[in-house]
Amino acid sequence: MTTTELREAILAHLKYALGTDPDRASVTDWRIALSYAIRDRIVDPWFASTQAAEAAKGKRVYYLSMEFLIGRLLEDAVVNLGLMESASAAMSSLGLDLDTVLSDEPDAALGNGGLGRLAACFLESLATVGCPAYGYGIRYEHGLFRQSFVDGRQVESPEDWLRQPHAWEFERPGAAFEIGFGGRVASNAGRTEWTPAESVVAEAYDTPVIGWKGRWANTLRLWSAKPTTFFDLDRFNRGDYYGAAEPEALARTISRVLYPDDTTEEGKRLRLKQEYFFTAASLNDILRRFLSEHDDLRQLPRKVAIQLNDTHPAIAGPELVRLLHDVHGMPLDEAIVTARGCLSYTNHTLLPEALERWSEGLMGSLLPRHLSLIERIDAAHAAAHPDRGITMRENGEVKMGELAFCMAHKVNGVSALHTELMKRTVFSELHRLHPERILNQTNGVTPRRWVLSANPRLSGLLTDAIGEEWVDDLERLHEIEPLAEDAGFREDYAAAKRANKEELASYLRAERGVSVDPEAMFDVQIKRIHEYKRQHLNILEAIALWQEIGDNPNGDWTPRVKIFGGKAAPGYVFAKEIIHLINSVAQVINSDPVTSKFLKIDYPANYNVSLAERLIPASDLSEQISTAGKEASGTGNMKFALNGALTIGTLDGANVEIRELVGAENFFLFGMDADEVMARRAIDGHAARAIEADPRLARALDAIRDGAFSPGERGRFDAIVSNLSQADYFLVSSDFTDYWRAQREVDVAYRDRTAWMRMAILNTARSGWFSSDRTIRSYMSQIWNAQGLLADAGTDGRDEG
């Protein structure tokens, strides 16, 4: 598409779709007009992909996820269609700067963190490798809450991404299903029938997902809840206007808001309704599509692969059995086997509080037929293994992980360590019974968003050096390895990093009034705030460092800027205390004239995908410091390594694999491993011992306790201090000393600019394996048995083994 054609298309949309003209148009009008013009270019490849999938009559993949943290969509589409230059030229010919227009788009924050962002990377990779697939989820009216800080404390407000027209979706009033809740179950002539007491309509909204070079496009289908009847006319006519509106309000509540909890179970009744709502709508849609092409439901596993993104859609097991058995008359045992042939389950956490359990009371009242089917499935499984006493029900609750496991033919963890721990801990019994079922699929990230778009400087350098093929064959980055020894390349690489840091520094100055020196090391920890991720370990180290610099202000310190980003679940009190502590420490340290040329701390509010895209390319040091055994994988860690930040981290999640690939000498390791963590926890008084053994740690904790960061309010952070001195379940105190040691190694390493750049380049060169294209191909061959349908580009039939 030429610049002129694109320009004409933008002007036409501005006039005919938005009803405005260039003199009156706002940046948002221009952005939407550009989005429509770009969307038009997606529709043909989208239709072609859909038709190719229909013609192939092959297997389709369905990714069921409660969350899709997709962020902004315009830049992704422009980049994947190869229209960056045309778009930039077209916008400037209209007097606009493309970057300004792109940044006007609100993030689609339909997810909390890792699990939702992984689903978004997977969608893009599925399209890039040409795998016929659908993402299924919920079209939340309000995504993840907006975070602001008031006196250093997190305050939440509703997010409102749909206030402006959303250019990327197509409403599909024709694709709608009635979803029931409650009611009763009866037998009728040998068939079981569920008659729900209430129901809502799930209506589809489709967003095309275009892959690299526009070669293939899939669909993200999100369900919106609508009432079965719009309002109660009788009540309205009696003057009961509120009452008349009630059915509509209640129905819409289901897709109103994303639950803001990351790894804690929450929400009860409404949450279970949300889970069933989107799972049932998706399964109905999947069966409808299957039956439009085939007539024998026994063939379902050959044509349909359904991936459950954690247990949120685990009700898919009993729901699919219900559809096959109750509705389509397949014998129960066969229905269970058929459903299992389609389903597979990914576990994303082993934290006990995050493993979903639903009380049988609640389940029985909302989904009575499903509860009885769960009992049947459980009994059938127990009968097959009579001496084991295994059950998916315990203390009047259904354990959704066990249900998902029993109804899946494959179950996967998201990093090698996490998968091992699944086998050894939470699923040990089931693993013994089904040793072939659990397998590992280490996470990945899409290089289009996380390198190509987010870091154009580095991308340009890579393409100049090795050609453009790395973009969809990321392991080609190995080809730059020898260039780590090339002084010219190192200088270019350093210059790209430096320019990214300058850009971030200007952003921080403009947006936050914070001034940071781009020469300093940018040390970044961005992720949800959680005790196991240990942002408090990081801030403790900052305090100790500040104290030490204060003792010796003329010392030869390595200047650092510590940057934090992340939200805490609104109900997670301790995590909110950590946020308050970080902000309070930042305030004191940043205003200390003695130390401020060596140490600054910044915590921009409302961390989201777009902020990550700014921060990661500008980072030198990536903080991946979770208590070993707790972080299932991490995906931020991969984005940092690809963008040439060195990791300081524990042997946790995918850090283990990152370190193996980039080389131990290019990774700052510290802390206990998962086995040592368990042993240490068993030692009486482990925290007190650690504090006693390390005067720096004791002094940092004393400063917090004595009110150094809460003037006039001693005791503000007592909960944190006493936790770290006593129970300290996450072993912050016990890992502090080694963390400090590793940080001082980082300081020394950073001063040798040549050596540092060599390490950074090797991180980029050796992290190509973390492309989500690799992960998706591995799911395709090892779990889904699905084929890519792209003729060219070597994606068809390529097998990662």
Q: Is 343 helix (H, G, I), strand (E, B) or coil?
A: strand
In the bound state with ligand OAK, the residue whose beta carbon lies nearer, of 414 and 789, is 414
Residue 355 CB, shortest distance to ligand OAK, in Å, is 8
What are the structure tokens assigned to 672, written together? Answer: 């206990």
- Measured CA to CA, the distance from residue 567 to residue 260 in angstroms comes to 9
- Measured CA to CA, the distance from residue 529 to residue 720 in angstroms comes to 14
**If you write DSSP's letter for every residue of 31-90 in order, what string do you get?**
HHHHHHHHHHHHHHHHHHHHHHHHHHT--EEEEE-S-EEEE--HHHHHHHTT-HHHHHHH
Task: Say whether 226 is catalytic.
Answer: no
Task: Say whether 630 is catalytic.
Answer: no
Residue 449 CB, shortest distance to ligand OAK, in Å, is 16
Q: Which helix (H) or strand (E) holds 351?
A: none
| Residue that the structure tokens 């940044």 belong to | 103
Question: Is residue 407 within 8 Å of 430, Cβ to Cβ?
Answer: no
In the bound state with ligand OAK, the residue whose beta carbon lies nearer, of 198 and 397, is 397
How many other CB atoms are there within 10 angstroms of residue 241's CB atom? Answer: 10
Catalytic position from the list 139, 142, 533, 705: 533
What are the structure tokens assigned to 469, written together? Answer: 């093929």
Catalytic position from the list 639, 659, 705, 774: 639
Task: Say whether 213 is catalytic.
Answer: no
| Residue that the structure tokens 């893009």 belong to | 124
- Measured CA to CA, the distance from residue 70 to residue 67 in angstroms comes to 9
In the bound state with ligand OAK, the residue whose beta carbon lies nearer, of 45 and 634, is 634
In the bound state with ligand OAK, the residue whose beta carbon lies nearer, of 354 and 588, is 354
Question: Is residue 396 within 8 Å of 337, Cβ to Cβ?
Answer: no
The β-bridge relationship of strands 198-210 and 217-227 is antiparallel
Catalytic position from the list 311, 442, 595, 635: 635
Task: Say whether 527 is catalytic.
Answer: yes
Task: Determine the residue type at 740.
Answer: W
Q: Which helix (H) or strand (E) holds 598?
A: none
In the bound state with ligand OAK, the residue whose beta carbon lies nearer, of 135 and 634, is 634
In the bound state with ligand OAK, the residue whose beta carbon lies nearer, of 81 and 783, is 783
Residue 354 CB, shortest distance to ligand OAK, in Å, is 5
Task: Say whether 142 is catalytic.
Answer: no
Residue 114 CB, shortest distance to ligand OAK, in Å, is 3
- Distance between terminal CA atoms of the chain? 39
Catalytic position from the list 117, 273, 325, 348: 348
In the bound state with ligand OAK, the residue whose beta carbon lies nearer, of 443 and 500, is 443
- Measured CA to CA, the distance from residue 411 to residue 314 in angstroms comes to 12
Residues near ligand OAK (CB under 6 A) are 113-115, 118, 262-263, 310, 348-349, 354, 414, 443, 631-635, 653
Residue 129's alpha-carbon distances to 60, 122, 726, in angstroms, are 13, 10, 51
Q: Is 597 helix (H, G, I), strand (E, B) or coil?
A: coil
Question: Is residue 783 within 8 Å of 307, Cβ to Cβ?
Answer: yes
Cβ contacts of residue 665 below 8 Å, gap of 6+? 759
Residue 660 CB, shortest distance to ligand OAK, in Å, is 17
Q: Which of 263, 758, 293 is nearest to 480 (CA)?
A: 758
∠ CA(141), CA(143), CA(144), 5° rounding?
Answer: 155
Residue 638 CB, shortest distance to ligand OAK, in Å, is 9
In the bound state with ligand OAK, the residue whose beta carbon lies nearer, of 440 and 606, is 440
Residue 422 CB, shortest distance to ligand OAK, in Å, is 12
In the bound state with ligand OAK, the residue whose beta carbon lies nearer, of 339 and 414, is 414
Task: Say whether 348 is catalytic.
Answer: yes
Q: Which helix (H) or strand (E) holds 776?
A: helix 772-779
Strand partners, 346: 309, 412
Residue 115 CB, shortest distance to ligand OAK, in Å, is 3
- Measured CA to CA, the distance from residue 527 to residue 700 in angstroms comes to 24
Helix axes 573-590, 535-551, angle to 10 degrees: 20
What are the structure tokens assigned to 709, written together? Answer: 């960061």
Q: Which of 662, 632, 631, 633 is nearest to 647 (CA)?
A: 662
In the bound state with ligand OAK, the residue whose beta carbon lies nearer, of 118 and 426, is 118
Q: Is 709 helix (H, G, I), strand (E, B) or coil?
A: coil
Residue 596 CB, shortest distance to ligand OAK, in Å, is 34
- Measured CA to CA, the distance from residue 564 to residue 121 in angstroms comes to 23
Under DSSP, the state recorded for 30 is H
**If you write DSSP's letter for every residue of 260-271 in order, what string do you get?**
--SSS---HHHH
**If you write DSSP's letter for every residue of 475-523 in order, what string do you get?**
GGGGGGGGGGG-HHHHHHHHHHHHHHHHHHHHHHHHHH-----TTSEEE
In the bound state with ligand OAK, the residue whose beta carbon lies nearer, of 268 and 328, is 268
- Measured CA to CA, the distance from residue 669 to residue 663 in angstroms comes to 11
Q: Which residue is nearest to ligand OAK (CB)?
A: 114
Residues known to be catalytic: 348, 527-528, 533, 635, 639
